[in-house]
Amino acid sequence: MNLEQISQNLNIIARRVGNFIKTEGESFDVAKVEMKGFNNLVSYVDKEAEKQLVEALRELLPEAGFITEEETDNTKGERYNWIIDPLDGTTNFTHGLPNYCVSVGLTDGDDVVVGVVYDPNRDECFSAHKGGGAFCNDAPIKVSEAPKLGNALIATGFPYYDFGLTQQYLQVLGSFMGKSHGVRRLGSAALDLVYVAIGRFEGFFEYNLNPWDVAGGAIIVQEAGGKVTKFTEGGDYIFGREIVASNGKIHSEMLETIAEHWKQQLP
C-alpha cells in the first residue's frame, strides 16, 4: 500500500471517529470529565475515540507502532509509527465549543509522511502525504501569499499548566500583536496548523506541545507550500515541544520576533 492509499484510508477512518465525537458531544455530560493533571482534561470520548483509531489503524498498517495521547497503545514500531490525538481541543469539547478535531500523523523513521486532521463540526478533512500536496475535502490547498508579518493573522496557544515562562511568552505575544493584523487563540494546535495550510492564518507558534498535537498538521502545512521549524531554524519540531509554522514568506520575521524575548530553550 502506497502513501496515497494510506492517506485515503486514513481520511475515512478519521471522518468516522470524528463523527462519533461530534455525536457524543451533542449530549455530553461535563460531570464525566476526568483530570489527568492540573487543567489537563480527558473524557470517555477521548479514550473511546482513540481505541477506535488504534483498532482501525492497526488493521490498515499492521507493521506500524503507536504513539498515543491516552496511551491506548504505545508500542513503537521498527519503522512506521502512528502519532494520534483522538480529540485535539478537549477543553473546547467539554465546554461545548465547536473547535476540536481528530489529528493523526504517520512517521517513517524520523519523517512524518502522512497527516490527516478532521474537523467534524465544519466537515473539513485536511490531508497530505509526502510529495503529494495538501488537500481539504480532496480539493488542493495552498498557504497564503501574504508577503510580510504586517499583512498576517497569527495563531498561537496559551500554556494551561506550566506557567514558568508566562512573562517571556506574553512579551512575545505583545510583539506579534504590534506587528501583525492580530493574534488568535482557538484552542486546537492541529486546527491552527491546517488553517495555516489553507491560508486562514499566515503563521502559528506555540511551546510546550506534544508530538500528537502537531504531527498530523505539520506535514499538511509543508505540503501546502509552508514552512515548519522550532523557535529557531532546524531542530525536531515534532518532539521538541515548540513549533513555528508559516506560509514561508513571513517565517524569518516570526523567528526574529520570537527571539526578541524568548531566551528559554525547551529540552
Q: How many CB atoms lie within 10 A of CB 40?
A: 12
Please tell me the predicted confidence (pLDDT) of residue 69: 87
88 is an annotated ligand-binding site residue? yes
Please tell me the predicted confidence (pLDDT) of residue 39: 38
Instruction: Give the integer Cα–Cα distance in Å for 40 and 98.
Output: 18
50 is an annotated ligand-binding site residue? no
CATH topology of domain 149-259: D-Maltodextrin-Binding Protein; domain 2 (3.40.190)
Mean pLDDT by groups of 10 residues along the chain of 267 residues? 96 98 83 52 81 97 94 90 96 92 97 98 98 97 98 90 79 96 97 98 95 97 98 90 96 96 66
Per domain, the residue ranges of the chain are 3-140, 149-259
CB 262 within 8 A of CB 172: yes
87 is an annotated ligand-binding site residue? yes
CB 211 within 8 A of CB 103: no
123 is an annotated ligand-binding site residue? no
The structure's pTM equals: 0.93
State the number of CA atoms in the 13 A half-sphere of 175 facing the CB: 17
61 is an annotated ligand-binding site residue? no
- Matching CATH number, 3-140, of 3.40.640.10, 1.10.3720.10, 3.40.50.10130, 3.30.540.10: 3.30.540.10
